[in-house]
Structure 1
Amino acid sequence: MNLEIPKKFRSLVNNAHQVAAGTFRPISRYYDRHEHERPRELDMLASILDGFNEGDPSNSAGAATTGANGEAGAEGVRNGSNMGVCLGAMELCYGDVALMLSLPRQGLGNAAISAVATDEQKQRFDGKWAAMAITEPGCGSDSGAIRTTARREGDEYVLNGEKIYVTAGERADCVVVWATLDPSMGKAAIKSFVVEWGTPGMELARLEKKLGIRASDTAAIHFQDCRVPAENLLGSPEIDTSKGFAGAMQTFDNTRPLVAAMAVGCGRAALERLKELLADHVNLDYDQPVDNGSAVEAEIYRMEAEWESAYWLTVRAAWMADNHQPNSVQASMCKAKAGRVGNWITLRCAELAGTLGYSEEELLEKWARDSKILDIFEGTQQIQNLIIARRLLGLSSSELR
């Protein structure tokens, strides 16, 4: 295993770091305080992530190179767009998680399109900024409990239901909506639809006020007799009970390493800032046994070790996707580890920094707030552990709940 960043990504990582430090951090506090104000400074930076995706904006999470859409059999080791996007996201979230989520054309819905769309659909939605709408008032972690319905009428589907906590829901050009074709058919009937803003029957209900990632708009959207062209259903319209939820869940295999990378970047920001603040009081000597140092030094060593394990789990999941290896377990592992570790590190750094960590004089308290969502969305900590256990034990969802 090569423990160095691939040479092809080094300029990408450096550029993303410069954006994080020079653009994101100076405006971070302002947009945290002005929650629903759009960060106009980001419009000119929209092309930054295009470079992460090897020039293809539709490949926002590297999803087009994974799963059924990947072309297996390539010789040698490939470091592709999954790796690039994750490394870039780590650096951008070193600056600000919410501002990274607010970059145009880089919504989580773009990863869903890349994961399950046909070639024609990918071309048609190329350049669109797509949010992703899964969560409902009565459906959170159990995506199989979705109750938003899609009824076929001629050349259209009629959507009815409500989606909440849609990241970039208002600002995006369109929303990838998960809905069921037949509630009696269970998870196999759940499909995703691209619904563009301006479609009759699609209405913004409200923008949420949140604990963290305040610069990113989080919307609730109502669908009432919303008519969507049949060709906007992503992938196959057929209900295949033998495949179950596989088609829809492939999206998560593509986005969970990306969210893990975000947690890794935020955690690194807090850890590095803490070490700067304590530079005159602690002496980190990595040649000495941990027991020879102070309690604070030992705590920093532990955080660094946990952070590094989260980092490598994330890199591994991305590498597997680039090399067309099934990565569902690894995607859940890195999401579970990085989400938990990132939130723990940011909170602990805020504590160890004392009054500076608790005040708005430093960004430490903001990073602690922002990091919590990274342990929740794209599947909570508990859901990730459940998925991992099922895969390792070879049990179905009905056998292990």
Structure 2
Amino acid sequence: MAINLELPEKLDSTVERAHLAAEHIFRPISRKYDKAEHEYPTELDELGKIAKESRKGDRDTDKSAASGEDTVNGANLRSVLNARELSWGDVGLMLSIPYQGLGNAAIAAVANDEQLERFADVWAAMAITEPSFGSDSAAVTTTATLDGDEYVINGEKIFVTAGSRADHVVVWATLDKNIGRAAIKSFVVPMNTKGVTVARLEEKLGLKSSDTAVVLFEDARVPADNLLGSPEIQVKKGFGGVMQTFDNTRPVVAAMAVGLGRAALEELRAMLESAGHEIDYDKPAAAQHASVSEFIRLESDWESSWLLTLRAAWMADNREPNSAEASMSKAKAGRMVNELTNKTVEIGATAAFSETELLEKWARDSKILDIFEGTQQIQQLIIARRVLGKSSAELK
């Protein structure tokens, strides 16, 4: 039986709008904000309004799915298509669009119906990582203590994307350090809450147009109903609830890598053709110029990354467990985009090292796509656990 890999026509408008924004808004200002780190890109304000309207449509899709209607292709697939096209323009600017923060994905993944409505119009950053740990999300030390009808949050979070720009932040904190993973919950915290402070902004290798902040929480009080999902500590379930966030966001990060990778592939193809090296898919790769053979290999790697990403997003839309597939897409795409952008710089020679082109910027931007939302090693560990049916205690 043949498999139809074409995207449904109803998503054509999503792809078209995002690509137009990437081409006509992102690309022209890409180098400008790469040089002006921490300067807010005001050109994105209009896109923020569009993103807010788009989320309303996503919520309608989710309601249809909850009522038993056949979703098939919904909000998650639209998100990865949007991320792919915008990242073709500039990944850092894509992460800077108002009302489209990583914390918004967390709210969509874990919140109940009342919270989805209440936080529908916020711009939420995501605060997970702490100075004492990187990819081991279970090592959270930030605390949330119930005091009456409020939680009091204390701790320090680092590498908070858009932490200085968003109006809210989704914070991972533990209700009881002695219980372990099961006590970790996520909380929606307004950035203007007393006790919430942006301590500093990081200077980074890439994604300079996207601010990355250190955020301190010192006796920050939030209403008890700002805890996303259930407040009950279910030891047997572990912290699967908050981890579901990653099942939604990892395919989006993979799509970012695919978008950036396509930009590099297009540039690499143009360089080869301008040098007189034709790419002939009817001839064996080994019978062609070495650079052409390398291009074909990289392109096939890119294609497989995209197919894995589509699969993970489709499964999320259809309420199918996709933890392994989400990690597969993230691991494959993160590794692919790093090799691809570095190879493009290598073949591009002097032009690729200068600021006349965006090649060197793409190589710098690509590095983080293999790190945040879980490193390569973490993704492989998750995949192994799912494939072998092992728990985190059994396979470390």
Residue of structure 1 equivalent to 2:78: 84
Q: Specify the code of the residue in structure 1 equivalent to 2:184.
A: I
Cα drift, residue 53 of structure 1: 4.5
Q: Deviations over 1:303-340 (max 9, x none)?
A: 00000000000011111111221111100000000011
Distance 1:321 1:289, change over 3 A: same
Q: Is the 8 A contact 1:90 1:263 kept in 2?
A: yes
Amino acid at match of 2:133: C
RMSD: 1.6
Gaps of 5+ in 1: none
Name the aligned partner's letter for residue 322 of structure 2: N
Aligned-partner Cα distance in 1 for 2:324–2:54: 24
Indicate the residue corresponding to 2:259 in structure 1. 265
For residues 362-397 of structure 1, give each alpha carbon's deviation from its aligned partner in whole angstroms, at most 9, with x where no partner exists: 101101111111111111111000000011111111
Tell me the SS of whatever aligns to 1:131: strand
What secondary structure, in the 3-state scheme, does the structure 1 residue paired with 2:198 have? strand
| Secondary structure in 2 matching 1:144 | helix
Deviation at 1:280, TM superposition (A): 2.2
| Correspondence for 2:121 | 127
Shift of 1:11: 1.9
Q: Deviations over 1:226-279 (max 9, x none)?
A: 111111111111111011011010000010000000000001101101211222
Return the letter of the residue paired with 1:259.
V
Q: Is the CA contact (8 Å cut-off) linking 1:52 and 1:84 kept in structure 2?
A: no
Structure 1 residue 341 and structure 2 residue 336: aligned?
A: yes
Partner residue of 2:4?
2
Q: Distance in 2 between matches of 1:351 and 1:48?
A: 38
Deviating 4+ runs (over 6 angstroms):
none
1:240 counterpart = 2:242:
no
Q: Distance in 2 between matches of 1:12 and 1:393?
A: 37
Measure the CA separation in 2 of the matches of 1:92 and 1:53.
16
Match for residue 361 of structure 2? 366
Instruction: Give the counterpart letter for 2:6 in structure 1.
Output: E
Would you say 1:144 and 2:138 are equivalent positions? yes
* 1:123 Cα deviation after fit: 1.0
In 1: Cα distance, 2:67 partner to 2:284 partner: 46
Given the alignment of the two structures, is residue 290 of structure 1 paired with residue 285 of structure 2, yes or no? Answer: yes
Tell me if 1:187 matches 2:181: yes
In structure 1, C-alpha distance between the alignment counterparts of 2:306 and 2:55, rounded to whole Å: 20
Is the counterpart of residue 254 in structure 1 residue 256 in structure 2?
Answer: no
Q: Identity over aligned residues, as a percent? A: 61
Residue number among 67, 74, 99 corresponding to 1:105 in the alignment: 99
2:66 alignment partner, SS class:
coil
In 1, are the aligned partners of 2:167 and 2:192 still within 8 Å (CA)?
no
Give SS of 1:374's match: helix
Report if the CA contact (8 A) 1:49-1:88 is conserved: no
2:38 aligned with 1:36: yes
Task: State whether residues 101 and 123 of structure 2, in contact with CA within 8 Å, keep that contact through their aligned partners in structure 1.
Answer: yes
Aligned to 1:399: 394
Aligned to 1:22: 24
Structure 1 partner of 2:156: 162
1:276 pairs with one of 260, 264, 270: 270
AA of the residue aligned to 2:42? R
Amino acid at match of 1:25: R
- Is the contact between residue 71 and residue 324 of structure 1 (CA under 8 Å) also seen in structure 2? no
User: What is the CA–CA distance in structure 1 between the aligned matches of 2:313 and 2:344, rounded to whole Å?
Assistant: 28
For structure 2, the residue ranges without an aligned partner over 5 or more in a row are none
TM-score (structure 2 length as normaliser): 0.96
Query: Aligned partner of 1:15: which letter?
Result: R
The whole-number CA distance in structure 1 between the counterparts of 2:286 and 2:56 is 46
Question: Kindly tell me: are residues 156 and 51 of structure 1, through their superposed partners in 2, closer, same or farther at Cα, counting changes over 3 Å?
Answer: closer
8 Å Cα contact 2:272/2:278 also seen in 1: no
Asked whether 1:304 is paired with 2:331, we answer no
Q: 1:344 to 1:366 in 2, by over 3 A?
A: same
Count of residue correspondences: 393
SS at match of 1:235: coil
Show CA shifts across 1:179-220 (max 9, x none).
000000000000011110111111110000000111001000
